[in-house]
């Protein structure tokens, strides 16, 4: 299966077009409004000035470019904040939900007794296929029996 370079060409063209558009907007905003000189020297420069004058008359006024850029930037900010609040409010599960601890695909290690859990799973690495029950892990980490810490492995 060969990959077509179409997407690479399209991306490169988008890069060139956006760069050319940005350069055009910058140059257009820098060109002074009084681009006609007081003493035109020859007819070719007058022709060039008239073509330039016609082209600049086709473009919108300069303050509209700044206004449109500000509207686009504020729209991007509003969309970003909207997506952020949607992710926080709608897509994030509440803390009391069981899916914050485990999911439907979990394969729990189910030892018969607590001692079997400590001997088989507590102080050895997991096989990568089993999930340890949270209740047993919390019991081992935070509970002591007869003043003896359960984190020390039995010999």
Query: Residues 20-61: pLDDT tens digits?
Result: 988 988 887 777 666 544 455 666 677 877 887 787 777 777
**For residues 147-155, average pLDDT:** 57
SS3 87: helix
pLDDT at 80: 98
- Phi and psi at residue 108, to the nearest 5°: -80, 145
The residue that leads in pLDDT, 91 or 77, is 77
Domain assignment of residue 3, yes or no: no
| Domain carrying residue 86 | 44-92
More confident residue, 128 or 96: 96
Question: Of 55, 73, 92, which one is at a domain's C-terminal end?
Answer: 92
Report the C-alpha gap between 131 and 135 in whole angstroms: 12
Between the alpha carbon of residue 19 and those of residues 26, 55, 56, 75, 116, the distances in Å are: 11, 20, 20, 21, 66
The residues, ordered by sequence, that sit 6+ positions from 29 with a Cβ below 8 Å of its Cβ are 62, 65, 66
In a domain, 2, yes or no: no
User: What total of structural domains would you count in the chain?
Assistant: 2
Question: Are the CB atoms for 119 and 111 separated by under 8 Å?
Answer: no
* Residue 14 reports pLDDT greater than 80: yes
């Amino acid at each position: 299966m060969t990959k077509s370079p179409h997407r690479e060409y399209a991306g490169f063209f988008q890069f060139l077009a956006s760069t050319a558009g940005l350069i055009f907007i910058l140059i257009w905003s820098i060109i002074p409004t009084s681009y006609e000189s007081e003493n035109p020297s020859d007819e070719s420069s007058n022709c060039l000035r008239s073509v330039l004058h016609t082209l600049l008359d086709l473009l919108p006024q300069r303050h509209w470019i700044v206004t449109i850029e500000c509207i686009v930037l504020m729209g991007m900010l509003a969309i970003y904040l909207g997506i952020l609040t949607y992710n926080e409010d709608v897509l994030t599960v509440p803390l009391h939900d069981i899916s914050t601890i485990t999911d439907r695909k979990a394969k729990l290690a189910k030892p018969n007794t607590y001692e079997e859990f400590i001997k088989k799973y507590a102080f050895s690495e997991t096989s990568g296929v089993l999930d340890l029950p949270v209740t047993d892990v919390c019991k081992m980490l935070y509970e002591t029996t007869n003043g003896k810490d359960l984190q020390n492995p039995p010999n």
